[in-house]
Chains A and B, each alone.
Chain A
Amino acid sequence: MQAHEQSATDAPPPNAELVIDVSGITKRFGAQTVVNSIGMQVRRGEIYGFLGPNGSGKTTFLRMLCGLLKPDAGQGTCLGYDILHQSDEIKKHVGYMTQKFSYYEDLNLEENLDFIARIYQVPNRKQAVSDSLQKLGLHARRKQLAGQLSGGWKQRLALAASLIHNPELLLLDEPTAGVDPKARRDFWEEIHQLAAAGLTVMITTHYMDEAERCHRIAYIAYGNLLTNGTVAEVVSGAKLSVWEVSGPNLPALANELRHKKGIEQVVAFGNTLHVSGPQGEELRNAILPWMKPPYQWNQAESSLEDVFISLMGHSQDNFK
C-alpha cells in the first residue's frame, strides 16, 4: 500500500481549482444509453482513476470530455471551457492517449512526435521532440517505425506524444495495458511527478494496484456512476464484511456457501477463501453453521477488488 500512502500525502488540497466539472453527462448510441447522467469533479493536480467493467462507458466518457463525441445531455466545463461549445480550446490543452494505439505505424517515432508537435505548434519543436524521446528512453529507437514497436513501447510512444505539448489535463485510456511491471512502475512514477507539478490526470484502468495509486477513483458500471472518492472512502463506503476461512477441502465448502442468503462472493485466495457480503449480521448468520473445526474463520479487511465485484453484482447490465 506504499503507493496509497504516497497518494495520500501529495493529493491536492480540497479547495484546489476544478479542472473537470461536469454534470448529467449522457450519451446514447441508438437505443442504448452508454453513459447515464454522470457528474464528476476533478481538481488540479489530481490523479483520478476511472474504473469499471468492459463496456461500461469509460472510453465514451473520456471522448466526450475532449470533444471527440457530443454528449446527448449534460453540461459542464473542462479546464474552464464549456465542453459543449469550446472543444477547440479544450483540445489545445488536453493530452489524450487513446485505448487503441492511434499514432502512425508507417512513421518512425521521431516523425510521429514531430507531427504531433507541429499540430500543437509546440515552441522549440525540435528540442521538445528530442527531449521527449530522451525522457522516455526512446532516443535510441527514434528511427524505428512505430508499427514495428512492441506493445509496451507503443504505449510509451503514445504517452510521450500526449505529453509533448505540455497539456494541463491528461486523459489516459488504459495506458498500462500490456506493459511490463518495471515499465508500469516507471510510468506511475512519472505520472505522480507530473501531477505534483500541476498536471491533472484522468486515467482508466482495470488494475487494482493502479487504482490504489490514484488520489481519487470513480467506479462506473453500465453507464452509471456507482461510487467515487478516495480508495479508503470507497472501501469503507461499501460497508462490505469479509471473512477469511482456512481448512480442508475448501472448493467443496465454497460450493456450499456460494448460494446462501447474505453471502455475495466466495473467492479463493491461495489456501484461504474470502467470503463476503454487504450485511455484516446476515453474513455472520449465513456462515455460522461452518464456524467450527476443522475450519478457522477470521474477519478480514475488504479489498478494493471485493468492493468493485460487489458493486458490479448489484448493477444491471443494460444490455440484458
Chain B
Amino acid sequence: MSTPRFSFKRLWAVVVKEFIQMRRDRLTFGMMVGIPMIQLMLFGFAINSDPKHLPTAIIIQDHSQFSRTFIWSLRNSRYFDVVVEAESERDVQFLLDEGEVQFVINIPADFSRELLRGERPKLLLQADATDPAATGNAIAAINALVANVFDRDLKGPLQKLRDKPGPVEMQIHRLYNQEGKTQYNIVPGLMGVVLTMTMIVITALAITRERERGTMENLLATPARPAEVMFGKIIPYIMIGYIQTILILTAARFLFNVPMLGSIPLLLGLMLIFIAANLAVGITFSTVAKNQLQAMQMSFFFFLPSILLSGFMFPFRGMPTWAQHIGSALPLTHFLRLVRGILLKGNGLLESATHIWPIALFLLIVMAIGIKRYRQTLD
C-alpha cells in the first residue's frame, strides 16, 4: 500500500453524512433517547417503589411502657409488620437467615431502666440488606421514629431526656451486603448500562447497514480510509451518548435526588473514554457481522455479561472469582466505580485514574482489532 494519510476533511464528510442519516432515521433516534428514559422509569420505579409492611421480628427483653409505645409506633409507621414477638435472640435469628423476616429488632433487657437514667440504651436493628432498595426507606423511617417516639412518655421532669442526642441510640446492622449499597447506586449505574447498550447496538448496525444496503461498495471505491470511516461514524454517536448522559443525570438529580458530591464536568470528561470504548466494540462487531441481525445478536452477547458481571445487578465482591475476572475486563465494571466514586464519594481526578486506565486499555485493544478487521475490499 502507498502511504495512506488520514484526512480530517474526509472524516468530516462521514460525520456530516451520519448526522443527516441519524436525523432522518426517526425510529433509531427516538430509541436512543427513549431507551434511557424507559430504563430510568423502570429502574426508577423500582427505587421509588417504597416497600412497606416489611415482615419484622421483635425480641422483647424488657416489657415496659416504653417497649409498648415503641412497638405501637413501629406498626404505625406502616413500614414494619411485626409478625413475631420473641423473648430471646435464638428464637428469631433463623427467620432472618431464611428470609422469613426482613428485620429483627432487639429491645434489650434493662431498656426502660437505662432510658430513665438517661444512659441512652441501644435499640438494635438487624436488616437483611440484600436488596438495599427494599430496606432503605424503612431504615430511614425508623431513624426518624426513635427521635421522638417517647415524647409522650417523657413528661415533666423526664422531659430533658428528649434533648439531643435523644433518649435512645438506634444501632443498625446491615447483613448480607458488605458493600452497603444504597439505592443511589442504581441511577448512576444505569448511566453506564444505557450507554453500553445503545452505543454498541447502534454503531454495530452502522457499518453492517452500509454493507447490507450496498453502499459499502461505493464507499470502498472512494479514497476514504478505514480510520476515517470508523471515527466518522463514532463521533456523532458520542454526541448521542452525552445527550443520554445529561438526561439521566438530570433525572437522577431532580427525580431521584441522587447526591452529586463530585465534579460533573470531570465526570463528563472522563466518560468520553467509556463511550469511545463502547463505540469501538460496536464498530468492531459490525466489521465481523454479515448482516444487521448478527450485529444485533453480537451486541447482546456483549451486553449481558456487562450488565450481570459488572456489579450493576449483583454486588461485585459477592461474585465468584472467575466471574470477577471476567467482570474486570469489561469497561462497564470500571465505569460504575468511576461514576459512583465521583457522584457519591466526591472523588477527584486522582482517585478516578485507577478506574480509567482499564477502560482506556480496553479501548485501545478493541480499536486495533476493529481497524484491522475493517475490510478495505469486498472479498
Interface residues of A (CB under 8 A from B): 63, 66-70, 85-89, 91-92, 94, 96, 98, 100-107, 111, 114-116, 118-121, 145
Q: State in angstroms the CA–CA spacing of A219 and B17 once bound together.
A: 39
Identify A86's interface contact among B2, B16, B220, CB under 8 A: B2
Known: A67-B377, A88-B1, A100-B214. Is A118-B222 also a contact (CB below 8 A)? no
Which residues of B sit under 8 angstroms from A91, Cβ to Cβ?
Answer: 221-223
Distance in Å: Cβ of A62 to nearest Cβ of chain B: 10
Q: State in angstroms the CA–CA spacing of A70 and B21 once bound together.
A: 31
Q: Which of A85, A88, A105, A116 has the most CB of B within 10 A?
A: A88
Q: Across chains A and B, which 5 residue pairs bring their CB atoms closest together, nearest first?
A: A118-B13, A102-B218, A96-B221, A106-B24, A102-B214
Q: Which of B4, B12, B213, B378 has the most CB of A within 10 A?
A: B213
Q: Does any Cβ of A come within 8 Å of B7's Cβ?
A: yes
Which residues of B sit under 8 angstroms from A116, Cβ to Cβ?
Answer: 222
Q: Which of A67, A87, A102, A105 has the most CB of B within 10 A?
A: A102
Q: 8 A-B contacts, Cβ less than 8 Å apart?
A: A63-B217, A63-B378, A70-B379, A85-B1, A102-B216, A106-B21, A106-B25, A119-B224
Residues 349-379 of chain B, each 1 if its beta carbon lies under 8 Å from chain A, else 0: 0000000000000000000000000001111
Q: Does any Cβ of A come within 8 Å of B215's Cβ?
A: yes
Distance in Å: Cβ of B192 to nearest Cβ of chain A: 31
Check B377–A68 contact: CB distance below 8 A.
yes
Closest partner residue, chain A, to B228 (CB atom): A119
Check B16–A120 contact: CB distance below 8 A.
no
Known: A102-B215, A106-B25. Is A88-B222 also a contact (CB below 8 A)? no
Check A121–B7 contact: CB distance below 8 A.
yes
Closest partner residue, chain B, to A84 (CB atom): B1
Q: Does any Cβ of A come within 8 Å of B9's Cβ?
A: yes
Q: Does any Cβ of A come within 8 Å of B20's Cβ?
A: yes
Check A88–B223 contact: CB distance below 8 A.
yes
Which residues of B sit under 8 angstroms from A94, Cβ to Cβ?
Answer: 221
Which residues of A sit under 8 angstroms from B17, Cβ to Cβ?
Answer: 104, 107, 111, 115
Which residues of A sit under 8 angstroms from B120, Cβ to Cβ?
Answer: none
Known: A88-B1, A104-B21. Is A66-B221 also a contact (CB below 8 A)? yes
Known: A88-B4, A104-B215. Is A118-B16 also a contact (CB below 8 A)? yes
Distance in Å: Cβ of A269 to nearest Cβ of chain B: 38
Which residues of B sit under 8 angstroms from A104, Cβ to Cβ?
Answer: 17, 21, 215
Check A119–B222 contact: CB distance below 8 A.
yes
Check A118–B221 contact: CB distance below 8 A.
no
- B18-70, CB < 8 A from A: 20-21, 24-25
Q: State in angstroms the CA–CA spacing of A63 and B220 once bound together.
A: 10
Distance in Å: Cβ of B6 to nearest Cβ of chain A: 12
Check B21–A115 contact: CB distance below 8 A.
no
Known: A69-B377, A70-B379. Is A121-B9 also a contact (CB below 8 A)? yes
Check A69–B221 contact: CB distance below 8 A.
no
Check B223–A69 contact: CB distance below 8 A.
no
Which residues of B sit under 8 angstroms from A70, Cβ to Cβ?
Answer: 377, 379
Q: State in angstroms the CA–CA spacing of A98 and B217 once bound together.
A: 8
Q: Does any Cβ of A come within 8 Å of B10's Cβ?
A: yes
Which residues of A sit under 8 angstroms from B2, Cβ to Cβ?
Answer: 85-86, 88-89
Identify B213's interface contact among A105, A114, A118, CB under 8 A: A105
Distance in Å: Cβ of A94 to nearest Cβ of chain B: 7
Distance in Å: Cβ of A171 to nearest Cβ of chain B: 9
Q: Chain A contact residues: over half helix, strand or loop, or mixed?
A: loop
Q: State in angstroms the CA–CA spacing of A68 and B376 once bound together.
A: 7
Which residues of A sit under 8 angstroms from B7, Cβ to Cβ?
Answer: 121
Q: State in angstroms the CA–CA spacing of A69 and B379 once bound together.
A: 6
Known: A102-B215, A104-B215. Is A118-B10 also a contact (CB below 8 A)? yes
Known: A69-B379, A118-B16. Is A107-B21 also a contact (CB below 8 A)? yes
Which residues of A sit under 8 angstroms from B221, Cβ to Cβ?
Answer: 66-68, 91, 94, 96, 98
Q: State in angstroms the CA–CA spacing of A121 and B13 once bound together.
A: 9
Known: A68-B377, A70-B377, A88-B2. Is A120-B223 also a contact (CB below 8 A)? yes
Check B218–A92 contact: CB distance below 8 A.
no
Closest partner residue, chain B, to A93 (CB atom): B223
Q: State in angstroms the CA–CA spacing of A107 and B379 once bound together.
A: 27
Which residues of B sit under 8 angstroms from A96, Cβ to Cβ?
Answer: 218, 221
Identify B223's interface contact among A101, A111, A114, A119, CB under 8 A: A119
Which residues of A sit under 8 angstroms from B217, Cβ to Cβ?
Answer: 63, 68, 98, 100, 102
Which residues of A sit under 8 angstroms from B222, Cβ to Cβ?
Answer: 91, 116, 119-120
Closest partner residue, chain B, to A105 (CB atom): B213
Identify A68's interface contact among B25, B215, B224, B378, CB under 8 A: B378
Closest partner residue, chain A, to B23 (CB atom): A106
Q: State in angstroms the CA–CA spacing of A52 and B5 once bound together.
A: 38
Which residues of A sit under 8 angstroms from B4, Cβ to Cβ?
Answer: 88
Q: State in angstroms the CA–CA spacing of A244 and B102 once bound together.
A: 102
Distance in Å: Cβ of B66 to nearest Cβ of chain A: 73
Q: State in angstroms the CA–CA spacing of A105 and B25 once bound together.
A: 11
Closest partner residue, chain B, to A116 (CB atom): B222
Check B20–A107 contact: CB distance below 8 A.
yes
Q: State in angstroms the CA–CA spacing of A145 and B23 once bound together.
A: 13
Closest partner residue, chain B, to A89 (CB atom): B2
Q: State in angstroms the CA–CA spacing of A181 and B4 once bound together.
A: 43
Q: Which of B217, B224, B376, B378 has the most CB of A within 10 A?
A: B217
Q: State in angstroms the CA–CA spacing of A85 and B285 once bound together.
A: 28
Closest partner residue, chain A, to B232 (CB atom): A119
Distance in Å: Cβ of A291 to nearest Cβ of chain B: 54
Identify B215's interface contact among A85, A86, A89, A103, CB under 8 A: A103
Q: State in angstroms the CA–CA spacing of A77 and B223 once bound together.
A: 18
Residues 89-114 of chain B, each 1 if its beta carbon lies under 8 Å from chain A, else 0: 00000000000000000000000000
Q: Which of B2, B14, B223 has the most CB of A within 10 A?
A: B223
Identify A121's interface contact among B10, B220, B379, CB under 8 A: B10
Q: Which of A94, A105, A106 has the most CB of B within 10 A?
A: A106
Which residues of B sit under 8 angstroms from A100, Cβ to Cβ?
Answer: 214, 217
Which residues of A sit under 8 angstroms from B213, Cβ to Cβ?
Answer: 102, 105
Closest partner residue, chain A, to B4 (CB atom): A88
